[in-house]
């Protein structure tokens, strides 16, 4: 039986995630006290509905009972018949505050902190920090649309085998902030910049003219070779460790040319090796009208 625990910051998109999990065949339940999760799993086991995939959303809404989640997970992990994974969803504070203002909903800790959202979010992050550290999957939704979030969830969990490693290759621009979800970050700002070539400035790393310019440099070729050697070395260790998701991020100044080129090349390289690979260009939509 597959059991997915969906947790994270309030307002980060957990409801959208649960909608997707239900669409792809998981039996979903939201806001259940942690102490009852094991009992719920046993009920599903005995059900005549042949339930073999469950998604449970657990977060700060359960109040003081949330602390029981760790003992619950430890107990479940000891059961060899259950494949347990944890998905953590979060977003930046200002994004969360904006979402609450737009929806006119109260944060679960609103009354406790007398309406001070910054204090509520700070406390919530502290309570969830341990869950974030043990999570198998992590999605940062600050710059994602609802559709993009749902697509990422589908790509991650649809037909995902228990022993597979999902590799997410992404690009970003340092001027818009460093990626917070990446496991490995590579700075490619040292490479030739197409921005300073008039004929290439308005093009992106998705186009061959930009990719050819970036990759014609001997430095670019050597860097890519060394990075693929590193990834080839690390991948078996991540797999043996049981890691479920690896996020590789490439950053350049604006997230338009060099980082996109390297993310595209790395995606193709890993896909050719038979790995399950996703790609995401975080800041590219800023340049595409």
Candidates 261, 270, 272; CA nearest to 232 is 270
The CATH number of the domain covering residues in 2-157: 3.40.50.300
Mean pLDDT throughout 188-208? 96
- How high does pLDDT run on average in the chain? 91
Report the distance separating Cα 259 and Cα 43, nearest Å.
48
Rounding to the nearest 10 degrees, give the CA dihedral for residues 161, 162, 165, 168.
Answer: 60
The domain ranges of the chain are 2-157, 166-286
pTM: 0.69
Mean pLDDT throughout 47-72? 90
Bridge partner residues of 139 (DSSP): 89
- pLDDT grade, residue 164 (50/70/90)? low
- pLDDT grade, residue 154 (50/70/90)? confident
pLDDT score of 269: 97
pLDDT score of 37: 94
Candidates 6, 177, 183; CA nearest to 93 is 177
Q: Over the range 195-218, which residues count as b (16 or more CB within 10 Å of their CB) and which as e? A: beeeebeebbbbbeebbebbbeee
* Strands across the sheet containing 53-57: 27-30, 53-57, 2-8, 83-90, 137-140
């Amino acid at each position: 039986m597959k059991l997915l625990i969906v947790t994270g910051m309030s307002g980060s998109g957990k409801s959208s995630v649960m909608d997707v999990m239900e669409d792809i065949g998981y039996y979903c339940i939201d806001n259940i006290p942690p102490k009852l999760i094991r009992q719920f799993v046993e009920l599903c086991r005995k059900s005549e509905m042949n339930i073999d995939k469950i998604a449970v959303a657990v977060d700060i809404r359960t109040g003081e009972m949330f602390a029981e989640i760790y003992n619950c997970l430890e107990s479940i992990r000891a059961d060899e018949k259950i494949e347990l994974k944890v998905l953590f969803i979060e977003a930046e504070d200002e994004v969360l505050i904006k979402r609450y203002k737009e929806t006119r909903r109260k944060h679960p800790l609103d009354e406790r902190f007398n309406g001070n959202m910054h204090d509520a979010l700070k406390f919530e992050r502290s309570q969830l920090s341990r869950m974030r550290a043990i999570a198998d999957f992590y999605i940062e939704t600050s710059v994602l649309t609802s559709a993009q979030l749902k697509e990422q969830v589908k790509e991650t969990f649809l037909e995902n085998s228990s022993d597979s490693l999902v590799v997410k290759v992404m690009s970003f621009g340092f001027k818009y902030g460093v990626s917070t979800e990446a496991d490995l970050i590579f700075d490619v700002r040292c490479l030739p910049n197409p921005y300073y070539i008039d004929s290439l400035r308005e093009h992106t790393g998705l186009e061959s003219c930009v990719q050819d310019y970036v990759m014609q440099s001997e430095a670019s070729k050597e860097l890519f070779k060394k990075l693929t050697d590193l990834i080839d070395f690390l991948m078996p260790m991540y797999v043996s460790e049981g890691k479920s998701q690896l996020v590789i991020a490439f950053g350049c100044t604006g997230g338009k040319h060099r980082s996109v080129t390297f993310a595209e090349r790395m995606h193709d390289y890993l896909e050719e090796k038979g790995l399950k690979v996703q790609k995401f260009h975080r800041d590219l939509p800023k340049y595409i009208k």
